[in-house]
Structure 1
Amino acid sequence: MVVPSPPPWAPPHELVSRHPALHHLLFCNSMPHFLQIHALSITTGSASDNLAAARILSFPALSPSGSLPYARRLFLTTHEGDAFMANILLRAYASLPNTIPALSFFVESLESSRLHQPDATTLALALKASADAGDLSFGKMVHAMALKLAQASDVSVQNFLVRIYASFRLIESAKLVFDSISNFNDASRNIMLGAYLKCGLLDDARQLFDDMPVKGVISWSVMINGLVQNNRFREALELFNKMLMEKMEPNESIYVNVFSICAHLGAIEQGRWVENYLLKKGFRVTVRIGTAMIDMYLKCGCVENAFNVFDLMQEKNSMTWSAMITGLAINGRGEDSLKLFSLMELSGISPNEVTFIGVLNACSHSKLVDEGVKYFKSMVKVYNIQPDVHHYCCLVDLYGRAGMLVKAEEVIKNMPMEPNSAVWGSLLNACRIHGNAFLGEKVGTKLLELEPENSGRYVLLSNIYAGRGMWEKVAELRRIMKERKVEKTPGSSFIDINGEVHEFMAGDGFHRRKREVYGKLEEMRRELKLAGYKPRIKQVVIDMEEEEKESSLYHHSEKLALAFGLIGCERGTTLRIMKNLRVCEDCHLVMKMISKIYGREIVLRDRCRFHHFRDGVCSCNDYW
């Protein structure tokens, strides 16, 4: 059993024996109670003892029930030049979300001579505050002061120097300080590990991690989190599994990251295993963990599992509700999403900006235009939330999907901020859906000016031209891409089979079971034709013979993943496929037909949303 450390205002026994009034601090839990103790310490003379005064100052400064303004006034009555007293208040300011007051206090204490000579703790706290405030100049000034006062070799000062230089990606300076540390501690290595990861130097980070003589849970957590932040999901998952093999128990941060990894990879079996492991170990499902589990299940298309976690959570915050509302929206459960929003309001939890992105998406994907406009207007009128560019993007998408392109264009013209590429992209996608080549060309040209290296914009505009048979325009776009050296992002799809994630690229010929996959693909082709399937060859943006177009369509990555799923999964198992790009119209049709022909439920997640195929019908009702 771990015995909690006493709070910093709890006096030791020998101090209480000299000043009995301090005994009451052990039971103090409010400012009114503290004021009585403070008054008693003054009348008994305890407050004149520096050690006793430090304990008295610690309560209003560091207790959640304290008062920092009162602590500041109390500090001004203490003896001048006491670094220990100043450090108590500086620590309090440095722990605030906004640490600029800590920097001001540090400077004022020096200028007013209330702090004659900072010690190593003072300088370390000042460096922490300057790093959190994003003030490199102040950090460099404190570094110079540490050198002048011969405190630059203190390990706590050095650790925070590494941190502040790394936060500004000055990795050489951070490494220089790190290499000068003669007395390493766990924090030193973990801070440098975080520095490498923040700067994207993953190989250096991994080398430092592997060379650590002893790795605590914080080291594992920093390394896994860094890999996730750098989109190295598979490597992060392998590291997590290695951690378990070494009998190291994960902390909350690691569990949250692992559920995020499973969400990105669509590794639902691994995610379920981690949930069972967590519960078996008796680890408490905190709000963060519960929200991460909900997000994972929804991003893997497992709506009922997400509801189970949501319903069992004893505590939920706005992010928990928002994750559920947004997840239901992208899974084609728009009405359920809006019902949950109503329940959120009844529960007394206020929606935030993220919540409304989910609500507006629910309306957009369910063709609830009037409802979406009503919710958008309510943001300011009811909840006093100013819509940002993301909300305007949702509004453009709402009108655009419904074919109200003039309204969508009006929203862009009247936006209070400059529309970004996502906003224009929503309108371009609407032009593709509704075959408006004239407006599509205008919007596409604007987008190519904003994002000349984004291959997706060229592809979307090419789709619009190809759908209208404008092959000269398609060829011109291909020429521009070649001149600008823009490479088209290859389509790739993932499928989780018995806990192992398999990846397929468009036209993949490298999978170890490719013969079986292509054999199954041919079987699917025959069954589809018998069922009346006609390929959507307009999806091919290259001018070629129809037979070649049909063959090209058949080698899309999601079809290969589907064929492999039909081979590798037992009958009755839901097939879950994740694609990095938007699913094309032909693949969408194939998924619908295969779900009926083979009697399989198929869940496909593309770049925009989920499609749940069952018995020849998609959850999107072909509105996507």
Structure 2
Amino acid sequence: MIVIRCRSLLFFRRLCHSSLQLPVPPRPIDSESCTNCIKNCSTIKSLKCVHTSILKANLHLNLFFCTTLISQSVLLNVMACIHSEKEADDVCRMAMDHELGLNQSVQNAAVGMYARCGRIDTAQEIFNGIHSKDLVSWASMIEAYVQADLPLKAMEIFREMTLKGLLPDSITLLGVIRACLALGSFSQACFVHGFVIRRLFGNQIVVETAIVDLYVKCGSLIYARKVFDNIKERNVISWSTMISGYGLHGHGRKAICLFNEMKNSTKPDHITFVSILAACSHAGLVAEGWDCFNAMSRDFELKPGPEHYACMVDLLGRVGKLKEAFEFISKMPIRPNAGVWGALLGACRIHSNVEMAEVAAMNLLELDPENPGRYVLLYNIYLSSGKRKEADQIRALMKQRGLRKIAGHTIIQIKNKVHTFVAGDRSHPQTEMVYSELDKVIYRIQEEGYTPDLNFVLHDVEEETKERLLYVHSEKLAIVFGLLNSGSGSVVRLQKNLRVCVDCHTFMKFVSKVARREIIVRDARRFHQFKDGTCSCGDYW
């Protein structure tokens, strides 16, 4: 249907063009033809295109056509902007009253509109009611599930669409790739990539770059680099994506090598420099980071933005150069934003610098007062430094402002099913088996030298209780579940919504050694690849 629709619009434009070139058009174009063509438009861009062709052809059209044009244009514009449930219902009621609700373009737009309003059930109901679903219909429903944070449902819709013989275009595939990114599933990434290869979507740089990013975010730099190397005409986005991927995985020197290679063919932009500076920060490459930062204005006439300054503060702070980082902030030619002060506060947490943390926090709570992560970080700094009174004051301030700490959770996907664990979780059907195996795993790694790091249990409880609290972190539960439910020798892949704690990081190193399994963890900041008792980050993250 989408191919027919596109061809009809193209044919219509050619007819309009012929009316300008020939004394007598090959076929008269009347209001009915134009009205039908207008109804085939599902976006404002295509609507404007047809309208422009009509005006250029100097066609005389009746009132019914003009009404259809205005109604379709206004309705598509309005539906693209609505995020309120009540407004969505009002617009759909108006469309039905004017018989526009039966227009498939409007129905497709309504699916997206209700998805933005959080009414995924209504979006699904409208989608089910479309009799002859075209590619736009399927793409709208896929995007609706992505927006509703239901990536598995989006993948199900994609599979159903392909089974009906419909071939996706690049826009639909980008929606599917976003669903895969949300899942972080390597197997799903391979499925989508295989589909792209089979359906000959080669030489579409947007799709190819998205596949590179997908493999990076699913924990496979090897596959990402293979796709990147096969891109025939790389642009600044594809280069930046691969450089960022190396940085996320802690391969700073590889990122620098690729950056130097890029400069021979493509001029880096602001985003490229964010990627390379972040890569230097993740790897602790201070000299290289300074060189890249200075090269922005010196070699490429690019003015550093707040995000570049934040990367430099993060780089200096991580290696313990807090005084240098603070001086760098004080000399910034632009006002430091929340990202800059947040980088300094994070470094103060690593190096237990309470005094500088208070300065950073004072600025942060002014710039970003609604972000609970800032309060939690300062609370932890106070508590780990023995300043219980100050920590309690921060907690009271959070309560006063109605802020709550973001709950940590870990996700693992086994056989296309997503399992989520939280600390101390006992809701999973395999709870008893997981906890029993966890005890065995802890005993084995303790024999290898593992000792729990109690500095990261900040409750006023006995030492034995602190150990128990550490042992039931969501990462540990998910790893044991993965060991129990995946094949021998297979990779265990996890996603953590927060930064992985130091004790869990140590736990994973020992488990990778005694279980002889590779463990790949994506946390809020980067990737960790555990193998044979070591991590790709080199214990620097």
Q: TM-score range by the shorter chain?
A: 0.7 to 0.9
* Mapped contact 2:248–2:526 kept (Cα < 8 A): yes
1:529–1:13 distance in 2 versus 1, CA, 3 Å? closer
* Contact persistence 2:16–2:57 (CA under 8 A): no
Structure 1 residue 310 and structure 2 residue 223: aligned?
A: no
Q: Of the candidates 460, 464, 471, which is equivalent to residue 547 of structure 1?
A: 464
Contact residue 203 and residue 232 of structure 2 kept, 8 A? no
Verify: 1:165 aligned to 2:82, yes or no.
Answer: no
The structure 1 residue matched to 2:194, chosen from 276, 287, 294, is 276
| Cα distance change on mapping 1:277 and 1:286 into 2, 3 Å | same
1:34 maps to what in 2?
none
Match of 2:137 among 202, 205, 219: 219
Partner of 2:307: 390
Task: Letter of the 1:273 partner, please give it.
Answer: F
Distance 1:385 1:450 in 2: 26
**Cα distance, 1:400–1:304 mapped onto 2, change above 3 Å:** same
Give the distance between the partners of 1:502 and 1:270, measured in 2 at CA.
16
Q: Secondary structure at the match of 1:613?
A: strand
Residue 360 (1) aligns with residue 277 (2): yes
| Whole-Å separation in 2 of the counterparts to 1:601 and 1:563 | 13
Alignment counterpart, residue 536 of structure 1, candidates 447, 453, 478: 453
1:178-257 equivalences under 5 Å are 178-182=95-99, 184-257=102-175
Distance (whole Å) between structure 1 residues aligned to residue 306 and residue 143 of structure 2 = 29
Q: How far has the Cα of 1:50 moved from its partner?
A: 9.5
Distance 1:568 1:475 in 2: 42
* Residue 613 (structure 1) aligned to one of 524, 530, 535: 530
Higher Rg of the two aligned structures: 1
Structure 1 unaligned spans of 5+: 23-45, 53-83, 85-90, 121-148
User: What's the offset of the Cα at 1:245?
Assistant: 4.3
CA contact (8 A) 2:174 2:210 kept: yes
Instruction: Tell me: CA distance 1:419–1:202, structure 2 relative to 1, closer, same or farther (3 Å).
Output: farther
Query: Whole-Å Cα distance in 2 between the matches of residues 249 and 506 of structure 1?
Result: 43
Q: Which residue of 2 aligns with 1:72?
A: none
Which structure 2 residues correspond to residues 129-528 of structure 1 after superposition, within 5 A? 153-154=67-68, 156-169=69-82, 171=88, 174-175=91-92, 177-182=94-99, 184-284=102-202, 286-346=204-264, 348-528=265-445
| Matching residue's letter, 2:444 | E
TM normalised by structure 1 equals 0.75
What displacement does 1:417 show? 3.6
- Cα separation, partners in 2 of 1:524 and 1:161, compared to 1, 3 Å: same
| Structure 1 contact 263–300 (Cα < 8 Å) conserved | yes
Q: Give the 3 Å change call, closer, same or farther, for CA 12–540 of structure 1 in structure 2.
A: closer
CA offsets per residue over residues 119-140 of structure 1, 9 Å max, x none?
68xxxxxxxxxxxxxxxxxxxx
Q: How far apart are residue 407 of structure 1 and its match?
A: 2.4
Equivalent residue of 1:578, what SS? strand
Superposed CA offset, 1:251-303 (max 9, x none) = 22222222222222221112212222333344446212211111111111111
Structure 2 Cα separation of the partners of residues 619 and 553 of structure 1: 23
CA distance in 1, matches of 2:412, 2:446: 25
Tell me the secondary structure at the aligned position of residue 572 of structure 1: coil
Q: Say if 1:116 and 1:604 are closer, same or farther in 2 by CA, change over 3 A.
A: closer
Counterpart CA distance in 2 for 1:397 and 1:278 is 38
The match for 1:136 is none
Amino acid at match of 1:311: D
Contact 2:352 2:381 in 1 (8 A): yes
Alpha-carbon displacement from aligned partner over 1:336-388 (angstroms, at most 9, x marks no partner): 11111112122x22222221111001111111112112211222222222222
| Corresponding letter in the other structure for 2:78 | Y
Residues of 1 paired with 2:92 and 2:12: CA distance? 34
- What is the CA-CA distance between 1:489 and the residue it aligns to? 1.5
Tell me how far apart the structure 1 counterparts of residues 515 and 429 of structure 2 sit (CA, whole Å).
24
**Which residue identity does 1:158 align to in structure 2?**
S
1:562 aligned residue: 479
Q: Take 1:182 and 1:4, find their aligned partners in 2: how far apart are those partners?
A: 26
- Offset, 1:306: 0.6
Paired with 2:394 and 2:380, the residues of 1 have a C-alpha distance of 11
In structure 2, runs of 5+ residues without a counterpart are: 27-33, 35-40
Which residue is equivalent to 1:131?
Answer: none
Q: Distance in 1 between matches of 2:72 and 2:365?
A: 45
Q: What SS is found at the alignment partner of 1:182?
A: coil
Instruction: Give the direction of change, closer, same or farther, for the CA distance of 1:350–1:227 in structure 2 (3 Å limit).
Output: farther
Aligned Cα RMSD in Å?
A: 3.5
What's the % identity of the aligned pairs? 36
Q: Across the two proteins, how many residue pairs are aligned to each other?
A: 517
Alignment of 1:575-614 (within 5 A): 575-614=492-531
**Is the 1:462–1:474 contact (alpha carbons within 8 Å) kept by the matching residues of 2?**
yes
Check conservation: 1:540, 1:549, Cα contact below 8 A: yes
State the distance in 1 between where 2:291 and 2:540 align.
21
3-state SS of 1:382 partner: helix
Q: Answer whether contact 1:269 1:496 (CA < 8 A) is retained.
A: no
Compared CA separation, residues 332 and 523, structure 1 to 2 (3 A): same
Quote the Cα distance in structure 2 between the aligned partners of 1:13 and 1:453. 56
